[in-house]
Amino acid sequence: MKHQYLVCDKGGQPQYWASMEASILLKVKDSLSYEFGDSNRYRGGISRITGERSAVDIAPILFLKDSIKYETRIPPLTNTNLFSRDLNICAYCGRHYPSHKLSCDHIHPTSKGGKNVWTNVVSACKACNHEKADYLLHEIDMELIYIPYTPNHAERLLMQNRRVLADQMDYLRGFLPKHSRILAAPHFLGMIQ
């Protein structure tokens, strides 16, 4: 799997991951104002006019000349994103599970008026989710071991890419909220290349 390049707007806000090819295209089209980190050199073909081989150096963090405006920066609420936010830990028993053994649990069940929003959902192992069913926590004397929250865009970027370079992680860490579980997650920190 190839490394992804972190693309930021001109204000330094992280925006998206780009492939090597897309990153080279940004540089060749003169869309970048600045690059940060140790560059990788990519060699191209040999010019039939000069006989020289082309080469492009690309750093792991790229800054565009323009700003990007988005309607929302909240990641979509999907099981994949939810399990990543919760580090694949069941909110009731506290055990770590592979994704296929987890489910999405609505703390305030939708059958009782609960909403399908980040702050009302947690990862739950199938046994705990079955035990809770559509009860409210106080009705069956269950407790959460962590509080759900809405992840920000920097967390979304980390959820999308499991091969983050150290420079990229250091940069994105500055955009993570203090309550982010990613900051204390050894397996997220272990993904750094």
Residue 117's domain is classified under what CATH number?
1.10.30.50
Please list the residues that pair with 41 across neighbouring strands: 57
Residues 49 and 21 in one domain: yes
**Same domain membership, residue 190 and residue 159:** yes
Are residues 1 and 67 both part of a single domain?
Answer: yes
Q: Is the same domain home to 125 and 189? A: no
DSSP lists the bridge partners of residue 36 as 61
Half-sphere CA count of 151, side-chain side, radius 13 A: 26
67 with 83, same domain: the answer is no
**147 located within any domain:** no
Domain that holds residue 134: 79-140
Q: What per-residue confidence (pLDDT) applies to 65? A: 95
In a domain, 101, yes or no: yes
Structurally, the chain folds into a number of domains equal to: 2
The answer to whether residues 42 and 56 touch, using CB atoms and an 8 Å cutoff, is: yes
**So what's the pLDDT on residue 191?**
47
- Residue 135 maps to a domain: yes
Do 7 and 99 lie in one domain? The reply is no
For residues 88 and 71, give the distance between their C-alpha atoms in angstroms, rounded to a whole number: 29
Which candidate, 184, 186, 152, 180, places its Cα nearest to that of 14?
Answer: 152
Residue 64: inside a domain: yes
User: Do both 4 and 60 map to the same domain?
Assistant: yes
Does a structural domain hold residue 146? no
pTM of the entire structure?
0.76
Which residue ranges in the chain fall short of pLDDT 50? 189-193
Same domain, 95 and 124: yes
**Residue 36 and residue 13 share a domain:** yes
The conformational region for residue 51 under phi > 0 = left, psi -120 to 50 = alpha, else beta, is: left
- The answer on 181 and 91 residing in a single domain is no
CA distance 114 to 181: 24
Is residue 63 included in any domain, yes or no?
Answer: yes
pLDDT number for residue 193: 43
